[in-house]
């Protein structure tokens, strides 16, 4: 079971989207997904969604800031670089190389965060990635190696 502590509130999830878009104590909306159903892999040298269906969060926000967070464990073949980014309503947030990269010869734990301002209304958030060469693997095969994606509306 995954655990995340944001703003003093402990949230737990067994693998589905958590949070109903409602405001917990403090007025922050929190939605998150924890995946343990199988590893992700890519050979794409262009940014692509990590998982278009299971790692997408739809959240109705006010005119406010949101914090996006992706955690997991990544590895590559041959010491390639892996770049990560987020999209909001299909628009990438980072520059040409995304918001962060890692060189993962062995397994590297990642914690990638991004702050963005959104207008009032419903928005769809997704994590993306690309690899410099060969292949990248994002482990999501068990409760010990989950991929977690969260969106927090900051009020």
pLDDT, residue 26, reads 57
DSSP element (H, E) containing 35: strand 29-35
Q: Is residue 146 part of a domain?
A: yes
- The answer as to whether 54 is a domain residue is yes
Give a yes or no: residue 84 inside a domain. Answer: yes
Here the CATH number for the domain that contains residue 124 is: 2.60.120.760
Strand 100-103 and strand 40-42: the pairing is: unpaired
Q: Does 25 score more than 80 pLDDT?
A: no
Q: Is 129 helix (H, G, I), strand (E, B) or coil?
A: strand
pLDDT tens digits, one per residue of 80-122:
899 999 999 999 999 888 998 888 777 889 999 999 999 999 9
Helix (H, G, I), strand (E, B) or coil at 38: coil
What percentage of the chain exceeds 70 in pLDDT?
83
Domain membership of residue 10 (yes or no) is no
Task: Classify residue 3: in a domain, yes or no.
Answer: no
Could you tell me the pLDDT band of residue 1, with boundaries at 50, 70 and 90?
Answer: very low
Query: What distances in angstroms separate CA 8 from CA 68, 150, 151, one per listed residue?
Result: 17, 16, 16
Is the predicted pLDDT of residue 141 greater than 80, yes or no?
yes
Query: Strands, E, within 50-107: which ranges?
Result: 57-61, 64-76, 81-88, 91-92, 100-103
47 DSSP assignment: -
Q: For residue 77, is pLDDT > 70?
A: yes
Please answer whether residues 76 and 135 qualify as being in contact, where contact means their C-beta atoms are separated by less than 8 angstroms: yes
7 within domain boundaries: no
Q: Which of 23, 19, 44 is closest to 32 using CA atoms?
A: 19
Residue 11 lies in a domain: no
Specify the number of domains making up the chain: 1
What are the backbone dihedrals phi and psi of residue 112, each rounded to the nearest 5 degrees, phi first?
-115, 125
What's the domain range around 29?
20-101+114-154
Q: Which among 96, 154, 100 is positioned nearest to 127, based on CA atoms? A: 100
């Amino acid at each position: 079971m995954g655990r995340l502590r944001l703003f003093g509130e402990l949230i737990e999830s067994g693998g589905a989207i958590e949070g109903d878009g409602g405001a917990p104590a403090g007025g922050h909306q929190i939605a998150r997904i924890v995946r343990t159903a199988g590893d992700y892999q890519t050979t794409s040298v262009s940014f692509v969604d990590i998982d278009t269906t299971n790692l997408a969060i739809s959240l109705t926000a006010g005119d406010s800031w949101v914090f996006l967070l992706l955690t997991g464990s990544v590895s590559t073949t041959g010491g390639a670089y892996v770049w990560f980014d987020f999209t909001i309503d299909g628009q990438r947030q980072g520059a040409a190389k995304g918001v962060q990269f890692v060189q993962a010869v062995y397994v590297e734990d990642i914690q990638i965060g991004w702050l963005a301002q959104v207008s009032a209304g419903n928005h769809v958030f997704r994590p993306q990635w690309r690899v410099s060469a060969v292949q990248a693997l994002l482990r999501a095969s068990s409760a010990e190696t989950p991929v977690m994606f969260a969106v927090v509306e900051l009020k």
